């Protein structure tokens, strides 16, 4: 992954002239819909302690949008209603995945934006088809990730056969359990659901804010319905030109870089973790730990695959680094497996909602695009990547391997190139591992009136509303009145990344006490992993 210099642009702020603070369509929410659909939304309080004004509703939509009067499924929606006299319409939010639940994200976004901005929108969360509280919700094989799984590294034919059997079995179980649903669990179906939500809300246009896979979802919506997009924010941008097989291979290289950044941070804090000052030697120690765990799992729970599951989240968010370093050091220096087991339970273990998320993830990704059906290609490609990027390559390969055996036909990826949109705002960190930097540049090129804000030196995935005031100023300005930066280089504006976290203070019981932006931790708890 290529790094970019801070001198990416000479940015000037411009106004998106096609917008006004109170557009006609936003001021008249009862227009542009049918009575049948509008009547379906009945909002009821589903308040939480953190989000006391949160409301919930459900909406029936066609399973097959080509047959609008056929079988229906139910989408779960959430809302934080606007409170200002100026109403800018609905702001749909999505946390990514595919498979991420968006219900709580509505409350997070509404409470994290400046109050004057959030008050002008109905912030709308939703569980896409198959997800969470939407019905039916998919769960192909509960407990699929229960420890201890086979070693992800297929160092012997027997290990490879064991992992292949798991992948085939998962695909077969999904195909049998959800035969009539799987042909409709894909991005295009979710996009058409979004337009049903728009109609049910009574809006001629929507505003949209998506993270991670949610950026692809938003870009595809904009391609299908450009005239129905008012404002569009995409944070941590998926490269739509390599969905999804190539995207995962590219992730492997980027996550390896990010894991090495974590190890360099550990080296920098040798006085705390006592693992040495040489990142390469610390890396060797980490892989020695992996080898040991493959033979004897920590606490009978954390084997080699579970170790990878535990440390992969550190590639998404550096706020987890103190916890991970403490677990690493405890195992190596003190021969204590407990911190490692605790870290696995915090970051790597998969619960029932994770089983659901994975079922939808595979269903969407395997359906969205062609995947190689010849395992020999997977084997050759992943060994080639592993040689330069061993950290996540085979773990990621087995995570996606059901797509080699998926029981549905595949669709073509959507060409999201679009010259019909109003100004669009993109956010991208230069060191993002889950959606590498080039994806943001590619979408900036494909969306004719987009502006790209770069977090220079940042490595986190999901960067707005996460503690970086510079990024959040651009977001707030855009949502207030359509203001976007316009520069002359690859990026239209550059924000410096936040500093990496500090280790836990001496004497604290856990690295959880280490300083990290609270919003960052909250956001990444909602975004989850593997997006």
Measured at the alpha carbon of residue 426, what is the angle toward residues 422 and 429, in degrees to the nearest 5?
A: 175
- Catalytic: 488? no
- Catalytic: 186? no
Cα-atom radius of gyration of the chain, to the nearest Å?
23
Q: Which of 259, 444, 461, 474 is catalytic?
A: 461
For residues 282 and 262, the answer to whether their CB atoms sit within 8 Å is no
Cα 242 versus chain centre, distance: 16
**Cα dihedral 495/8/463/447 (nearest 10):** 130
Structure tokens at 472: 């959040």
- 90 preceded by a cis bond (ω within 30 of 0): no
Residue 314 makes CB contacts below 8 A (sequence gap 6+) with 258, 259, 262, 320, 321, 324, 347
Residue 9 makes CB contacts below 8 A (sequence gap 6+) with 485, 487, 488, 489, 490, 491, 492, 493, 494
Long-range contact set of residues 62-67: C-beta below 8 Å, sequence gap at least 24: 63/181, 63/184, 64/184, 65/189, 65/192
For residues 483 and 13, the answer to whether their CB atoms sit within 8 Å is yes
Structure tokens at 163: 């992992």
Q: Which of 151, 186, 432, 492 is catalytic?
A: 432
> What are the b/e assignments for 238-267, b being 16+ CB within 10 Å?
bbbbbbbbebbbbbbbbbbbbbbbbbebbb
Q: Which of 78, 111, 152, 212 is catalytic?
A: 212
- Catalytic: 82? no
Structure tokens at 231: 């404002």
Dihedrals phi, psi of 414, to nearest 5 degrees: -85, 130
Say which DSSP state 418 is in.
Answer: B
Structure tokens at 431: 């060191």
- Burial (CB count <10 Å: 0-12, 13-18, 19+), residue 115: exposed
The residues annotated with a catalytic role in the active site are: 212, 432, 461
């Amino acid at each position: 992954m290529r790094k970019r210099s801070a001198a990416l642009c000479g940015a000037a702020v411009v106004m998106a002239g096609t917008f006004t603070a109170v557009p006609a369509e936003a001021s008249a929410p009862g227009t542009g819909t049918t009575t049948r659909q509008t009547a379906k939304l009945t909002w009821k309080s589903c308040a939480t302690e953190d989000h006391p004004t949160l409301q919930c509703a459900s909406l029936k939509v066609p399973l097959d949008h080509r047959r609008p009067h056929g079988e229906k499924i139910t989408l779960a929606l959430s809302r934080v209603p606007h409170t200002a006299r100026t109403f800018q319409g609905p702001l749909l939010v999505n946390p990514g995945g595919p498979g991420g639940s968006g219900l709580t994200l509505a409350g997070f976004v509404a409470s994290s934006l400046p109050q004057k901005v959030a008050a002008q929108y109905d912030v709308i969360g939703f569980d896409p088809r198959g997800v969470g509280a939407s019905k039916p919700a998919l769960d192909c094989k509960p407990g699929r990730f229960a420890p201890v799984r086979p070693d992800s590294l297929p160092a012997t034919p027997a290990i490879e056969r064991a992992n292949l059997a798991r992948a085939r079995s998962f695909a077969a179980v999904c195909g049998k359990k959800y035969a009539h649903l799987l042909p409709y669990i894909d991005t295009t179906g979710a996009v058409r659901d979004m337009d049903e939500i728009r109609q049910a809300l009574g809006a001629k246009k929507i505003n949209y804010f998506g993270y991670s896979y949610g950026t692809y979802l938003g870009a595809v919506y904009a391609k299908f319905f450009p005239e129905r997009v008012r404002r569009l924010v995409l944070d941590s941008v998926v490269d739509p030109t390599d969905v999804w097989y190539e995207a995962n291979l590219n992730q492997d290289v980027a996550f390896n870089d990010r894991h090495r950044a974590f190890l360099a941070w550990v080296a920098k804090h040798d006085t705390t973790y006592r693992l040495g000052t040489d990142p390469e030697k610390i890396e060797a120690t980490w892989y020695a730990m992996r080898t040991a765990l493959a033979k004897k799992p920590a606490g009978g729970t954390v084997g080699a695959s579970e170790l990878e599951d535990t440390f992969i989240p550190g590639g998404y968010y550096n706020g987890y680094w103190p916890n991970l370093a403490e677990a690493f050091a405890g195992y190596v220096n003190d021969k204590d497996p407990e911190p490692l087991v605790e870290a696995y339970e915090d970051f790597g273990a998969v619960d029932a909602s994770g089983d659901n998320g994975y079922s939808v993830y595979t269903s969407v990704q395997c359906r969205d695009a062609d995947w190689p059906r010849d395992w020999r290609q997977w084997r050759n490609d992943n060994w080639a990547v592993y040689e330069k990027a061993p950290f996540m390559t085979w773990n990621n390969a087995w995570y996606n391997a059901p797509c080699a055996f998926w029981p549905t036909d595949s669709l073509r990826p959507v060409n999201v190139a679009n010259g019909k949109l109003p100004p669009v705002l993109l956010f991208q960190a230069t060191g993002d591992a889950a959606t590498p930097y080039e994806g943001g540049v590619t979408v900036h090129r494909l969306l004719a009136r987009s502006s790209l804000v770069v977090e220079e030196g940042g490595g986190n995935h999901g960067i707005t509303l996460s503690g970086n005031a510079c990024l959040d100023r651009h977001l707030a300005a855009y949502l207030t009145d359509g203001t976007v930066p316009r520069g002359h280089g690859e990026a239209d504006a550059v924000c410096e990344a936040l500093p990496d976290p500090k280790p836990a203070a001496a004497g604290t019981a856990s690295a959880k006490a280490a300083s990290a932006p609270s919003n960052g931790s909250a956001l990444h708890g909602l975004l989850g992993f593997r997006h």
